[in-house]
Amino acid sequence: MIDRAQAFAEAIAVAKGKGLLIALRGHPDPDALASAMALSHLAERLGVTNVTIGYCHELSHRENRALVKLLNIQLRKIKNVQDAGNIEFIALVDAHDVDPELVGAEKCEVLVIVDHHRATTPPKARFVDLRLEVGATATIFVEYLNALAPLDPDSEDDRRVATALMHGLSTDTDDFTLARPGDFRAAAAIAEVCDRDLLADLARRTIAPSAMDVISRALATLKVRRNFAMAGVGFVSETDRDTIAQAADFLVRREDIDTVVVYGVVGERFIEGSLRTHSPSVDPGAWLEQAFGFDDRGHPFGGGRRDKGGFRIPIGFLGRSTDRAQLWTLVEHAVKQAMLKLMGDEPALVTTATVSEQLREH
């Protein structure tokens, strides 16, 4: 384990005197943000001083924006690698490829990749540490920190890093319910360094009004078939895209179902959906792949692990349609059909209203 930390340090040291960009992929979550913060902290200790943490999509979740603010994480929103200055090297955390929307990355060398997601194509970098057996990338960074620059409870800066990592660990493992032995060891290692008050502030899960709105729309359109439920929530703005996942998290708690898919049109560009399940027979990744298939390049539109998954399908030219009602009808029809087909092409769904009517009759 010390060897891996040493190899990581050697790879990072290559960026001494040069510009290093920690390029966050997609909409960064607490694990990605904490890992970026830890990497930047370690890089500084290793003498790499020109480090930028960059992201190219919105920080969509209100809690993530709170995290950035409370922990004072220095983030740059960039479209192009050179927006971050004279960058020669890239580091990736909690992801193993560069965001497809980040321009100019091909001119830089990827120094390190530290991640815990299954890779579809082999990740390419000078140093790769991809561990499927940990619940969070934060766990790997705790290990590096222990080996290279142990966190000091008396240092304000070190406490912030520890707090971010603990928060990343807890959110990525669903409050440790999915944590593996390595994650618990990592949590134990930073327990005395992190700031408990700050951690409590970060953990306060608020529900934004926009999320409540999407949840209410999901409830209104919820269709239940046996132990499966689906809900289409219509149009959702890019900044509110996480509300779809929040609605799915809420609905899967319904007692008589074990799987739910919530979907909508995000930013008038994509059909996006979230799957949540606690069925032993539903593998989210495989299920979504079967339901929605693959894009032109052969990548599945959906993916997932354990108990959750998501999909994203571009609507392309149709997104320009000004008749939103018609567009939604089309989307709803196509998504429902894809899912129903997978469930064995049975007749029309029973709506919750019909179910309660039937119950009243008996």
Which of the stretches 44-52, 89-97, 278-286, 350-358 binds Mn ion when contact is defined by CB under 5 A? 89-97
Residue in 58, 158, 172, 258 binding Mn ion, rule: CB under 5 A: 172
Residue in 58, 63, 94, 289 binding Mn ion, rule: CB under 5 A: 94
Determine the Cα angle at 217 with ends 309 and 177, to 5°.
35
Residue in 8, 21, 28, 31 binding Mn ion, rule: CB under 5 A: 31
Assigned token pair, 359: 């119950």
**Among residues 19 and 28, whose Cβ is nearest to Mn ion?**
28
User: What is the separation of C-alpha 64 from the centre of its chain, rounded to a whole number of angstroms?
Assistant: 11
x/- binding map, residues 302-331, to Mn ion, per CB under 5 A? ------------------------------
Please choose, from the candidates 131, 169, 141, the residue with its C-alpha nearest in 3D space to the C-alpha of residue 30: 169
Rounded least distance, CB 168 to Mn ion, Å? 7
Half-sphere exposure of 320 (CA within 13 A, CB side): 2
183 binds Mn ion (CB under 5 A): no
Which of the stretches 122-130, 170-178, 224-232, 346-354 binds Mn ion when contact is defined by CB under 5 A? 170-178
Assigned token pair, 212: 């409540």
Assigned token pair, 308: 């959750």
Rounded least distance, CB 194 to Mn ion, Å? 18
Element (H, E) at 243: helix 242-251
Which of the stretches 171-179, 223-231, 269-277, 322-330 binds Mn ion when contact is defined by CB under 5 A? 171-179
Q: Which residue is listed with tokens 């497809």? A: 100
**Among residues 29 and 332, whose Cβ is nearest to Mn ion?**
29
**Among residues 50 and 137, whose Cβ is nearest to Mn ion?**
137
x/- binding map, residues 124-143, to Mn ion, per CB under 5 A? -------------x------
Assigned token pair, 197: 């008050």
**Among residues 137 and 163, whose Cβ is nearest to Mn ion?**
137
Rounded least distance, CB 4 to Mn ion, Å? 18
Element (H, E) at 313: strand 308-314
**Among residues 137 and 243, whose Cβ is nearest to Mn ion?**
137
DSSP-derived pairing of the beta strands 51-55 and 75-77: parallel
Hey, is 176 helix, strand or coil? coil
Task: Give, rounded to a whole angstrom, the gap between the first and last alpha carbons of the chain.
Answer: 64
Which of the stretches 169-177, 190-198, 228-236, 246-254 binds Mn ion when contact is defined by CB under 5 A? 169-177
Rounded least distance, CB 40 to Mn ion, Å? 17
Assigned token pair, 319: 């997104």
Per residue, the 3-state secondary structure of 87-146, as one string, reads: CCEEEEECCCCCCCCCECHHHCEEEEEEECCCCCCCCCCCEEEECCCCCCHHHHHHHHHH
Rounded least distance, CB 167 to Mn ion, Å? 12
Which of the stretches 18-26, 31-39, 68-76, 212-220 binds Mn ion when contact is defined by CB under 5 A? 31-39
Restricting to residues 264-293, name those near Mn ion by CB under 5 A. Answer: none
The number of beta carbons lying within 10 Å of the beta carbon of residue 16 is: 13
Binding site for Mn ion (CB under 5 A): 31, 94, 137, 172
